[in-house]
Amino acid sequence: MARVLIALALLIAAPATTLAQDASQIARVQAGQSCPGCNLFQAELAYRDLPGIDVSGARLRQANLALSTMNHARFDNANLSVANLFGGRFTGASFRQADLTRANLVGAYFGGADLTGATLTGATLSGAELQTARGLTQSQLNTACGDSSTRLPAGFTIPGCD
């Protein structure tokens, strides 16, 4: 119990800026500049055309990438948990080891995207196009959900969303 209280006290005492978004880094990405390892927490990137952007290792938790076009972008090791990728286009993008836990990937296009080692736990892939995605495994899909319009590589299945 004492350890828990000490850990809680340290967390409360930690500067809030370590977890808050970095507005200057978000502005950089919105302008089309790469920003690997940046803190893009809750970044507003919807409707953006950002081809080839590199945000590897970035914190994009709860970011909004809805209806964006990020072909050939790099999201390797990025935290995209609870992010909104609704209807986005990610042709040839790399999501190697990315955390997409509970992300909204409804209607997103991942043609030729690399999902090797990506965490899809609780992600919603209804209507997503994953037929030519690389590195995708059945065990990844077993932790996500989709529907009859989800396009998967031959032989793969996905549980339905409740």
128 token code pair:
């997503």
pLDDT tens, 7-53?
Answer: 444 444 444 445 678 999 999 999 999 999 999 999 999 999 999 99
pTM for this predicted structure: 0.88
Contacts 24+ apart (CB under 8 A), 130-135: 135/96
pLDDT tens, 44-78?
Answer: 999 999 999 999 999 999 999 999 999 999 999 99
20 token code pair:
């808050």
Fold of 36-162: Pectate Lyase C-like (2.160.20)
- Report which residue type is found at 138: Q
How many distinct helices (H) and strands (E) make up the chain?
Answer: 3, 0
